[in-house]
């Protein structure tokens, strides 16, 4: 597992998307907020809240949509424990 200080979250303002191309086997972890995930050729809707993760199991594009302001990390399965990831009360700088 990678040390938390070496992982940079992707900040997603409410209503924004983040695309992951060819990420089969990667884990998406919500470290704050709530996100909706959909994958190519997959009818499932996956909703993650803070501390929850999902491992992408399809080839092609996955889309992560911020239901409200959120932060996610994307990487190899088991790369982070969201509960140990400190999120600042207020984000600084651009997304």
Q: Is the dihedral of CA 54, 76, 78, 28 positive or negative?
A: negative
Which pLDDT tens digit goes with each residue over 2-44? 554 457 899 999 999 999 999 999 999 999 999 999 999 999 9
Write the DSSP string, 20-45.
EES-TTEEEEEEESEEEEEETT----
Q: Residue 77's pLDDT is what? A: 84
Q: Are 2 and 80 in contact (CB under 8 A)?
A: yes
5/24 Cα distance (integer angstroms):
25
CB neighbour burial string for 29-49, b if at least 16 within 10 angstroms, e if fewer: bbbbbbbebebeeeeeebebe
Domains in the chain and their CATH numbers? 4-79 (2.60.120.10)
């Amino acid at each position: 597992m990678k040390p938390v200080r070496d992982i940079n979250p992707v900040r997603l303002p409410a209503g924004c998307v983040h695309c992951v191309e060819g990420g089969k086997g990667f884990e998406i972890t919500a470290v704050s907020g709530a996100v909706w995930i959909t994958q190519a050729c997959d009818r499932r809707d996956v909703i993650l809240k803070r501390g929850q993760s999902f491992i992408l199991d399809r080839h092609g594009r996955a889309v992560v949509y911020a239901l409200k302001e959120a932060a996610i990390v994307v990487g190899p399965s088991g790369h982070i424990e969201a509960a140990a990831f400190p999120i600042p009360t207020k984000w600084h700088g651009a997304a």
